[in-house]
Amino acid sequence: MTMMKKHRKGWIALILAVATVILVYFMPRDNRHHYSYEENRPWSYSLLTAPFDVTIYRDSATVRQMIDSVDRTMVPIFRRDPDVPARIENALVGADSLSLRLRQRVARTVKELYGRGVVETATAMAITRGELPEVKFQKDNEYVTYSTGAFISQRDAYALIDSLYGNGEEHRALSAMGLAQLLQANVVEDKEATGMYRESLIQPIVAGIGVIQKGERIIAQGDIVTPQLYQILKTYEQTLDKMSNNDRTRTNYTLAGQAMFVVVVLAMLYFFTLFYYPRRLRDPKELLGLMLLVVGFFVFSVGMRHAFRSGMYIVPLAIMPIVISVFYDTRTAFFAYVMEVVLCSVLTTYTLEYVFVEIVAGTAVLFSMRELSRRSELLRSAAIAFLAYVIAYVGVELMTAGTIGSITWKLIGFFAVNALLISFAYILIFVYEKLFGMVSVVTLVELSDINNPQLRELSQECPGTFQHSMAVSNLATEAARKIGANVQLVRAGALYHDIGKIDNPAFFTENQHGVNPHDALTPLQLSLIHI
């Protein structure tokens, strides 16, 4: 017995330790010094002054707009390749098949075309579409702008030469020397120079535009967080993060604090179970199931936090008290839910708002659901959760901001998605039941259905026993309802308490019709039957 107890305690310790490690691992470490704030909302903290020089940058939206403007209006850098016409000239000199007169005429035409500028087909198409009216060339360490109207494509250059000297013998001679292959673009984009030029234009945009000196005011309580102030606060926090990352001791303290936070929350949940429901700790599977819910919803919340702004409100945390109340009880469901909300609150921007809204919604769900015996009850609970979310959120916003304009209507949509996900709690209940071998109210309702194959067989084979079981079930159900016991469990137990009589229904009085088979048996046979 002692060995079993030690073995059980070992499993419990392992479950709690693994849960702690996972939760700490997913804890955010990007807001250790951060305040909770959003654009166009009032600053809820006291006066904030700069503990060091804080560089002022443009807000991200403005920077993005200015960079987009640079990309739209920037003129790319091109260069001329003098080797291309030189190669053609050398080829003409060595072309013995061409007459001297033809070589001179072709050379003049090539010189004229390359003086204008021969470009690649893609560049020529961009010019035709009006996307490249001008280009820049570097001259004496300066960039000079040129119009692209005189440029000609490789294809058009060859077609022009071919039209001028493309008759008979001359055409064959030009084709033989491979003029089409030699006519390459001599005006091409200098991508490296273009990139450097772009960087030179962007650098002043992303650079600082001012400095808040050490000791100067950044923001005071009640001030509206404008886009510029928002950017200043972000810069301030990023600077703090860099300073902390360079301080290994501070990082270790942060990690230790998070571990202590998680340990305290899980310890509270463990001791609550130990004091009020110690029998549940006899089977580590029950604690494992509870920890899986706690860890699972936390990890899901982390994912939503990174996926959406305010995505935490999409997470259907209210499913957790529904599932726990189905397999445990309402008190455990509420306490575990509160602990989960406390854990998830470290992921949010507005902690107080989040905790209040989630607790209101979870409590509303618990109050609205007595027994999850019908799907309509779950839909009703989801609708009540949505209303609770909206009322609690709007109330907090009006209280803190003092204007209806501060309400983020996108969050209302998140609440609707949350309620929709709550309506799918049946799926999680089914998985939980099969995974941990527990019996839910839903299963008890299914077992209590008189159309269940076992009960239908009992009514056919043992009609008297079936009527007796129905009568016992009705009496026991009413008694359980009066004393506050588990009605569904009592009903199912009463219906199946005589299910074994199916094997020999005629040997029981309620199923006999004037004939008792015991009368035809010897005492020895009767003793063997009873044995």
Round to whole Å and give the CA distance between 468 and 466: 5
pLDDT > 70: what percent of the chain?
81
Query: If DSSP states are collapsed to H, E and C, what string results for 427-448?
Result: HHHHHHHHHHCCCCHHHHHHHH
38-58: average pLDDT: 77
Tell which wins on pLDDT, 481 or 67: 67
Question: How distant, in Å, are the alpha carbons of 280, 334, 412 from that of 353?
Answer: 34, 19, 15
Phi, psi of 401 (to 5 degrees): -95, -30
Q: Is the pLDDT of residue 1 over 50?
A: no
Q: Is the pLDDT of residue 449 over 50?
A: yes
Round to whole Å and give the CA distance between 266 and 358: 19
Banded pLDDT at 224 (limits 50, 70, 90): confident
Is 292 buried (19+), middle (13-18) or exposed (0-12) by CB count in 10 A?
middle
Whose structure tokens read 């854990």?
343
Q: Give SS3 for 458.
A: helix
The string of DSSP codes covering 25-69 is HTS--S-SS-----TTSB--SS-EE-SS-EEE---HHHHHHHHHH
Q: Give SS3 for 152.
A: strand
224 DSSP assignment: B
Q: Are 480 and 486 in contact (CB under 8 A)?
A: yes
Tell which wins on pLDDT, 438 or 419: 419
pLDDT score, position 262 = 93
Give the closest residue to 213 by CA, choosing from 326, 85, 49, 333. 49
Give the closest residue to 430 by CA, choosing from 341, 272, 353, 319. 319
Tell which wins on pLDDT, 516 or 227: 227
Tell which wins on pLDDT, 44 or 286: 286
Provide long-range contacts, Cβ within 8 A and 24+ apart, for 156-165. 156/124, 157/113, 157/118, 157/183, 158/183, 160/109, 160/113, 161/106, 161/109, 161/110, 161/113, 164/105, 164/109, 165/102, 165/105, 165/106
Q: How does the average pLDDT of the chain come out, rounded? A: 80
Pick from 275-289, 454-468, 508-522: least confident = 508-522
Q: Give SS3 for 149.
A: coil
For the chain, the domains span: 2-27+256-436, 68-203, 441-530
Banded pLDDT at 352 (limits 50, 70, 90): confident
Tell which wins on pLDDT, 366 or 163: 366
Give the closest residue to 113 by CA, choosing from 80, 135, 90, 141. 80
CATH number of 2-27+256-436: 1.10.1760
Round to whole Å and give the CA distance between 456 and 400: 61
Q: Is the pLDDT of residue 7 over 70?
A: no
